[in-house]
Amino acid sequence: DDARRTATANVRRATTRGATRDEARGVEATTRDAERINETTRRRDRRAGEGDARAKATAMTTIEAKEIEALTIASMATRDAVYETLRIDGDPNEVGHVIHTGASGASREISYETVRVVGHGSFGVVYQARCRENDEEVAIKKVLQDKRFKNRELQIMKAVDHTNVVKLIHSFYHTTEEDEVYLNLVLEFVPDTVYRIGKHYHKNNQRMPGLLVKLYTYQMARALASVHKLGICHRDIKPQNLLVDTKTHVLKICDFGSAKILAPTEPNISYICSRYYRAPELIFGAVHYTTAIDIWSTGCVMAEMLLGSPLFPGDSGVDQLVEIIKVLGTPTKEQIMHMNPGYTEFTFPQLKPHSWSKVFSKNVDPLALDLISKILVYVPESRFDCMTMCAHEYFDELRDEATTLPDGSPLPPLFNFSDGELESLSDELKKKLVPAHSRK
């Protein structure tokens, strides 16, 4: 144990030197990328008066096609033209205010009465509200806008349509007396989260029932499969962003505020994703990463539901990496190169990996440990993709027609795959995913 503690301290020192430097490089690269986007936009605007639409389209760069499509720097006149007329009765910063707004393309007014605050953070605030016209409960996410940009979250929410992703009902903007612009996303209201459910069991000194862990993990993976198919990386999968209806146990992913369409050749910021759920390539400062970072986060959430506490707690990025190394062992040079080819620090003391059966208690399903061992691996390309996860034997209980919820109610819909979800999958994988009783 003393030798292990000494080795861990050495890992922390080595990681501090390397990770801090690489995160700085990542920030620098992202800053350069932002400057390049702005310069590209200025060049595009200059070209606008010099050629026809075809010439402009041909001249567009990869950044323009991928990034500017999502975050177009718009003129004030164009931006204001899409704002909807609205009226607010009451203090907009207090619960109880009523928002009167028009639906896109409709002449009728829609009114939302705020009921309570259900979430807040650096992004803004989320209210539970009631639509006065149909008495529907909704959530309204109010986000302060940078006036130069279209909101990436809104564009992504419009693109994603899946039963396990929170539904966008309506969106509108409003401007305050201080000329601050807010985007309001009206979303379906889902009353609970995996975080609060886990906290409830932990408070009562209980573990979350194995069936619920299975059910939530499966729905999370299925939702991400649909999101990833669009080239979108969520970049902030954590228990707080997994909504649950505790009556039906339907899970829905929410909060696409950090989400982005990833372009393989373009750098991204590495300081992304909440700490306990950050993939190791992010801690190593990678700016060219893939949707595999969401897969890692999914594995961390699954492990947390099984353990009752975070698998890799840490007070900083360095501490986080130390916790990962203590379980997975010291990464090899080749593994580090797969995570971040630009990383140059390889002076890590050698720690051997822990057996997953020793990390978890004896009564954890061995199939759960097998699945986790396929997800929480250093090399991003070696992690299971989402549909391969869903087909794993761990979820066979969900595919059993006799399985019910703990109260005897039927399971929520799990196999109503769209053609798009199953597209390009092998026949063997499709057969595993869709049980005989659900086939048409």
* Binding-site residue set: 142
Most trustworthy range by pLDDT among 26-40, 44-58, 141-155, 178-192:
178-192
Q: Give the list of residues 6+ apart from residue 229 with CB closer than 8 angstroms, or none.
A: 420, 421
**Is pLDDT above 70 for 134?**
yes
Residue predicted with more confidence, 396 or 49:
396
Residues of the chain with pLDDT > 70: what percent?
77
Please state the rounded mean pLDDT for residues 417-440: 93
229-283 pLDDT per residue, tens: 999 999 999 999 999 999 999 999 999 999 999 998 899 999 889 999 999 999 9
pLDDT band at 62 (very low <50, low <70, confident <90, very high): very low
pLDDT band at 71 (very low <50, low <70, confident <90, very high): very low
Locus of tokens 């509200």: 129
Q: Give the list of residues 6+ apart from residue 152 with CB closer than 8 angstroms, or none.
A: 70, 71, 259, 260
- Residue 291's pLDDT is 98
Quick one: 79-148+151-188 is in which CATH superfamily?
A: Phosphorylase Kinase; domain 1 (3.30.200.20)
Judged by average pLDDT, the poorest of 125-129, 175-179, 393-397, 400-404 is 175-179
What predicted TM-score, i.e. pTM, was given to this entire model?
Answer: 0.81
- Residue 245's pLDDT is 98
8 Å CB contact between 186 and 170: yes
Active site residues: 236
What span, in angstroms and rounded, lies between the C-alpha atoms of 120 and 126?
A: 6
* Binding-site residue set for ATP: 142
Q: CATH 3.30.200.20 occupies which residues in the chain?
A: 79-148+151-188
8 Å CB contact between 318 and 417: no
Query: What's the distance, CA 160 to chain centroid?
Result: 13
8 Å CB contact between 340 and 22: yes
- Residue 76's pLDDT is 31
Residue predicted with more confidence, 26 or 284:
284
DSSP alpha helix (H) spans, 49-173: 53-59, 62-63, 69-70, 76-81, 152-159
Please state the rounded mean pLDDT for residues 393-407: 97
**Is pLDDT above 90 for 336?**
yes
Q: Across-strand partners of 34?
A: none
Q: What is the mean pLDDT of the chain?
A: 83
What span, in angstroms and rounded, lies between the C-alpha atoms of 183 and 124?
A: 10
**Is pLDDT above 50 for 72?**
no
406-415 pLDDT per residue, tens: 999 999 999 9
**Is pLDDT above 60 for 67?**
no
**Is pLDDT above 90 for 208?**
yes
Quick one: 192-438 is in which CATH superfamily?
A: Transferase(Phosphotransferase) domain 1 (1.10.510.10)
Judged by average pLDDT, the poorest of 281-295, 312-326, 365-379 is 312-326
8 Å CB contact between 383 and 377: yes
